[in-house]
Amino acid sequence: MDSLMDISNIRADFPVLDQQVNGSTLIYFDNAATTQKPKSVIEALSHYYQKDNSNIHRGLHTLAERATTAYELTRAKVRDFIHAPSSDQIIFTSGTTAGINLVAQTFGRSTFKAGDKILISHLEHHSNIVPWQMIAEETGAIIEVIPVDETGVLDLDAFINQLDEKVKLVAVNHVSNAIGTINPIAKIISLAHAKGARVLIDGAQSVAHIDIDVQTLDMDFFVFSAHKLFGPTGVGILYGKRELLASMPPYQGGGEMIKEVSFSGTTYNELPYKFEAGTPNIADVIAFGSAIDYVKSHGTEVLMKQEQALLAYATEKLNAIPGLRIIGTAPEKIAVISFVVEGIHPQDLGVLLDKFGVAIRTGHHCAQPLMQRYGLVGTCRVSFAFYNSLEEIDRFIVALQRSIQMLA
């Protein structure tokens, strides 16, 4: 395929890929769960602990100043990466899940009342379902689900019919982690805003593959995790419109999120610190800045082109295997393929593939309602990153066919 880039130098940037697993060279096809980390990210993490380890913002000594500068530089890099208007609209969290819970427990608790509606989709990860169920139970709000068709595409006609003046929030993912569908979020946001509803977009699966411009898309809230973007675990981002963040009460109390504390009352800090109580995950935030630099050095569009070529090639190969059925065939997808094989449990395939050094994901992918929609207990999921290759796909297909024969 002419569209594929030369990845030999890129693969050398990712030390974890250069190893044997069960006697075979590792094939890592579990990128939707977490991406691998380039050496620059690993080195940034090590450098902080070796040279700059200190708490941030409150210290006046040199180490504290260096750590604070590096930490806040990552905030600025995130701002530029998603085209946010200001760094103070970038809130550091522990991950996508934490960002959604923050919005649910602050915006949701202060906004929703009995009879209000929250729209979520059938494609959602549990982290974009359960927090809304919890706040709905507390406030009396009602959750409605946007249906999905057999191919994995949201039913926008149904969505339009669901939108009315009672809808206060639409919470949908940009991309399905389970089947790879890319949702038309620009249209979803526009339709929701026309009815006066706010929108939260879960970008966990899109941010590493699609250029994000929160201003052009007019997003109210956008959440994602660093570890899906070749960065460390334990770091997430919440972007919000300034007027919304300013009106929302603090999520947690403690140090850093305050200006003054007395026993008679507390004055809260300004944005973004109002939502960042306590000592943060300093080292991993700083290392995340290096991950953003790495992605920008290649360009998201270039990486997406590579992954789309891998998706097309793997889809063709998998469709040729008798008894195998791909779940989720939306025309717009990222490089994620979920599949089942007639008469074989996904977990059994996953265990056998690991014996050949192939890492895939099996199960319901924290999307049980979607699995139930298709009448499945789970699927096998392969997900590609730009450091994967056609040769790896060929080896995977051979291993898969051998595994199927062993289990038949």
Active site residues: 366
DSSP letter at 213 equals -
85 upstream amide cis, omega within 30 of 0: no
Token digits of residue 60: 């006046």
Query: Residue 388: enclosing H or E segment and its boundaries?
Result: none
CA distance 408 to 397: 16
Crossing angle for the helix pair 282-298 and 62-81, nearest 10 degrees? 40
Q: Is the dihedral of CA 102, 107, 110, 113 positive or negative?
A: negative
Q: Is the dihedral of CA 203, 209, 210, 215 positive or negative?
A: positive
Token digits of residue 174: 């940009």
Determine the residue type at 357: G
Annotate 307-343 with DSSP letters as a single string: HHHHHHHHHHHHHTSTTEEEE---SSB-SEEEEEETT
CA distance 351 to 356: 9
Strand partners, 171: 120, 200
